[in-house]
Amino acid sequence: MNIVRFALIWTASLLSSVGSSLTTFVLGVWVYQSTGSPTGFALVVLSGMLPGILIGPFAGVIVDRFDRRHVMIVTDCLAALSTAALAALIWTQALAVWHVALAGAVSGACGAFHLTAYQAMTPLLIPERHLGRANGLMHLSAGIQIAAPVLGATLLATVGMTGVVVLDLATFGVAMSALLLIRLPAAVLRPGAATERPAVLQDLGSGLRHLRARAGLPALVAALTGFNFTFAVAGVLVQPLILSFADPGVLGVLMFAGGAGMLAGGLVMGAWGGPRRKITGMTAFMALGGVFLVLHTLSPSPLLVGLAAAGFLFTLPVVNGCAHAVLQSRIDPAVLGRAMGTVHTLGSAAVPVGYLLAAPVAEHLLNPALVPGGALADSVGLLVGVGEGRGIAFVLLLDGLLLLAMAAVLATLPALRRLEHRPVPVPVA
């Protein structure tokens, strides 16, 4: 019965994430068209990302202290109100870039609460043997977000920005109805209700202390953080790489191919559940992802890059699904919110770092060195080629090699391998 409840909540959340991804796409188009500035666009993206990263430990404290359904409902309503405010501003033609940035910050912070509550409830609804499937399915929304430009561009041309935002609000209504109507056991909503709580500021560090108390979990969180870094570097550079040898139409097709790869990975993980040895599966697919990143750099070929992008993004749900299944099954239920909130903050913090490092290095350091006659033309140029965008290709090559090295190191860590076996429960901090 709990599996049915999870399936209903997952379906409603997936529908809502589709609406949100469409709104994010059309607002991003509007911001870029209004400012003509890639930097301005990037700052708006970061404004929606950073609050969710910073608030993770606090979200975990709230999720473990209060009814998790109520936390999701309240924060989802706040996010919906910010979206409704944008709809009104669009309708009155009063929308400004700072409105989009502010709404993004509110939605990002609220999303951290929703995700933390969702991840804390999942292992209490799903048997451990199915956690890999559940986490794989949860990554379908990420694949849809990558493929959103295809549907978003069509909707933008037919119903306009206002119509897309109203559609987002409608999908929110469906998700909210599911949360209100589905009956969930008290042990899922407040597993540690009878536990005495320390002060909030002291409780903020409980998730980190709990993770550090279990051998192997810090290494697993570090692995997720490193993987997120390599994913961020690839994510910020793959579009400029494609545009260095193809037109925007080809870019759209290849972005759709990448999103299809992630969707396929989520579906396969949902049906398969991942290998029985989750840590082994995680490191193997990290290594496979590194191979696909390297393949991006061999030739400025749309076919090669499209296949490599789909292959790389296919590994994402498998890596994250395996890692989160282990985390959720090795953390005490009463501290799941705080621990997963900390994991979210530590893992996601690598994303803006990847964004801010990769693009300047490729643009200002390596691209000039890999033009004909450049400093690296006769050395690195023999591997990745010489000309426009080959500095970006070199960064992606280094990114792929970094991921391969990480997988090799993780495969040798005894503490990480011991997580394959069910541990003795760790007391709640």
Q: Are 20 and 107 in contact (CB under 8 A)?
A: yes
User: Does pTM surpass 0.85?
Assistant: no
Q: Are 399 and 289 in contact (CB under 8 A)?
A: no
Task: Taking the CA atoms of 165, 168, 174 and 175 in sequence, report the sign of the dihedral they define.
Answer: negative
**Confidence at residue 47, expressed as pLDDT on a 0 to 100 scale:** 85
In what helix (H) or strand (E) does residue 128 lie, and over which residues does it extend? none
**Confidence at residue 74, expressed as pLDDT on a 0 to 100 scale:** 94
What are the residues whose beta carbons fall under 8 Å from the beta carbon of 74, sequence distance 6 or more?
Answer: none
CATH architecture of 2-418: Up-down Bundle (1.20)
- Give the 3-state DSSP-derived string for 202-234, with helices as H, strands as E and coil as C: HHCCHHHHHHHCCCCHHHHHHHHHHHHHHHHHH
Residue 370 corresponds to which tokens in the numbers above?
A: 């890999």
Q: Please give the DSSP secondary-structure letter assigned to residue 184.
A: -
Q: Are 16 and 172 in contact (CB under 8 A)?
A: yes
Q: Are 58 and 49 in contact (CB under 8 A)?
A: no
Of the candidates 336, 320, 350, 266, which has an alpha carbon nearest to the alpha carbon of residue 116? 336
Q: Are 241 and 251 in contact (CB under 8 A)?
A: no
Q: Are 2 and 126 in contact (CB under 8 A)?
A: yes
Of the candidates 246, 249, 213, which has an alpha carbon nearest to the alpha carbon of residue 423? 213
Residue recorded with tokens 């936390």: 71
Radius of gyration of the chain (CA): 22
Single-letter residue type at 42: A
| pLDDT < 70 stretches in the chain | 1, 36-42, 141-150, 192-202, 422-429
What are the residues whose beta carbons fall under 8 Å from the beta carbon of 64, sequence distance 6 or more?
Answer: 120, 192, 334, 335, 336, 337, 338
What are the residues whose beta carbons fall under 8 Å from the beta carbon of 62, sequence distance 6 or more?
Answer: 71, 113, 337
What are the residues whose beta carbons fall under 8 Å from the beta carbon of 332, sequence distance 6 or more?
Answer: 210, 425, 426, 427, 428
Residue 64 corresponds to which tokens in the numbers above?
A: 């473990």
Q: CA–CA distance from 12 to each of 143, 167, 259 (Å)?
A: 16, 14, 20
**Confidence at residue 1, expressed as pLDDT on a 0 to 100 scale:** 61
**Confidence at residue 429, expressed as pLDDT on a 0 to 100 scale:** 43
Nearest-angstrom CA–CA distance, 119 and 146:
22
**Confidence at residue 426, expressed as pLDDT on a 0 to 100 scale:** 43
Chain centroid, CA 178 distance in Å: 23
Nearest-angstrom CA–CA distance, 380 and 396:
13
